[in-house]
Amino acid sequence: MNQFLSRRTFILIPTMSILKIIFNPMQVLASSLPSKEEWNLSKDEWKARLSPESYYILREEGTERAFSSQLNNEKRKGIFYCAGCDLPLFSSDKKFDSGTGWPSFWDSIPGSVETKVDFKLIVPRTEYHCSRCGGHQGHVFNDGPLPTGKRYCNNGLALRFVPD
């Protein structure tokens, strides 16, 4: 058993190192590129627009602490906007309680988010970001409820909620 484990580790570690080297250029980009030139702001311009906490999430692909966002328990009808550029991203009728501690949705407003694969935790995850300003929102998983089966796990600090 031990021998098997050590052999596995022996193979796994170099493989992951190689993967990290191959995918490293993706991590050099602090965040995704905006689709619109007017949202191609400098670091300082973003820092002036955003709180330090939101800057860390949106522009450096950070993650807020679980259960830290008031939006986690937000149950009113309304729209969740990108905290970076105010693009409408999610509607309250697609929100559900995932129990994870982050605001969760089973679908986004069509065209509002784009995805890319990230390897920050070595295991590939599907990152998604605002399609207009490129601001990081969260990760999408395939264990959500029907009809989509998707779970958009969003940082509350990356959103601004406006009730109807």
- The structure tokens listed for 108 are 């986004």
- Write down the least CB distance from residue 131 to Zn ion, Å: 8
Phi, psi of 93 (to 5 degrees): -75, -5
Query: What would the x/- binding string for Zn ion be over residues 60 to 99, using CB under 5 A?
Result: ----------------------x-xx-x------------
In terms of Cβ atoms closer than 10 Å to its own Cβ (0-12, 13-18, 19+), residue 137 is buried
Nearest approach, Cβ of residue 20 and Zn ion (Å): 29
135 binds Zn ion (CB under 5 A): yes
Assess whether 153 carries a catalytic annotation.
yes
The binder of Zn ion chosen from 133, 153, 157, 159 (CB under 5 A): 133
Q: Kindly tell me which of 16 and 157 has the beta carbon lying closer to Zn ion.
A: 157
> E strands, 16-124, where?
78-82, 88-91, 95-96, 104-105, 113-118
H-type alpha helices, 29-49: 43-49
Beta carbon nearer to Zn ion, 98 or 137: 137
Active site residues: 153
